[in-house]
Amino acid sequence: MSAHRWRIGTRGSALALWQAHFVQRRLAEADPSCVAEVEIIKTSGDLIQDRALLEVGGKGLFVKEIQTALLEGAVDLAVHSLKDYPAENPQGLLLACVPERQDRRDALVMPRGKSANELPADAVVATGSLRRHHQAKLLFPRWKIAGLRGNVDTRLKKLDAGQCNAILLASAGLRRLGYESRIARLFEPQEMVPAVGQGAIAIECRSNDKEAKAFLGRIEAKVARRETGAERHFLRELGGNCTTPLGITAVIEGERAELYAFLASIKGERHMKDHIAGPAVKAEELASTLLKRFWEQGAAELLEKE
């Protein structure tokens, strides 16, 4: 290519399109002469809305059709929520870039006009995430946790229609879509450990596309890459998948890194949680140490119960 022209593959949800257009803007900032077009690709995860993700294959359903389009040359780049991105890159593809990260925390969302103080002790709180489900039950044993599917707008409509007392969502998605005012409470990582890569965007390209890899290096955020690299290392070495009730987050501030991890069995009858801190440059090594502790505490048995 003499001039940079990029076709960006993405899901068609409002949040996915926000992320794709964010990448589109960042590419234009890196080179105002480049042309980036967004192409919507339907995924299995978008089409199957009547069953829990656990039943139909997990978050990988939100990426595979986009990855196929990328491999076949129908698009040049793929943009995903990093928390939906598989632990292992498919052959021929590369996680080429992680731009700056948004808030990684989980949020409690109340119906319009209500505050967290108005939530009954035995509230019905909905989430589509087993990770949030089990951690919420540990924090608030009297809550009744209900399932929830759909994009952010759909989930908010279900909440406002009275289908539940509150819902749990990622703060990043709410902020990106202009719903920050709906956040009634934020959970710090030591309370509710976020998902791998939560708040981060993954930009994927073909492994042999040297031009794309070089260009995407211009918009890489080093801290976000180091944080998510440590988180994904933990996920890969654990052998977890998109349905594992797992939380792992690396928080890097200056020269220091703090990692928080959570793992539960599918039914939540057993869980483990731990924390480690150390030099930011050793974030991946810290993740390995944390994982070693998990193995020593019996992580293999929890994974077997899946």
Strand partners, 121: none
CB atoms within 10 A of CB 153: 13
46 catalytically annotated = no
Q: Which of 84, 106, 122, 153 is catalytic?
A: 84
Strand partners, 273: 262
Q: DSSP secondary structure string, the chain?
A: --S-EEEEEE--SHHHHHHHHHHHHHHHHH-TT-EEEEEE---HHHH--SS-HHHHT-GGGGTHHHHHHHHTTS-SEEEEEGGGS-SSPPTTEEEEE--------EEEE--TT--GGGS-TT-EEE-S-HHHHHHHHHH-TTPEEE---S-HHHHHHHHHTTSSSEEEEEHHHHHHTT-GGGEEEEE-TTTSPPPTTTT-EEEEEETT-HHHHHHHGGG--HHHHHHHHHHHHHHHHHT--TTS-EEEEEEEETTEEEEEEEEE-TTSSSEEEEEEEEEGGGHHHHHHHHHHHHHHTTHHHHHHT-
Answer yes or no: are the C-beta atoms of 184 and 116 closer than 8 Å.
yes
Q: Which positions are annotated as active-site residues?
A: 84
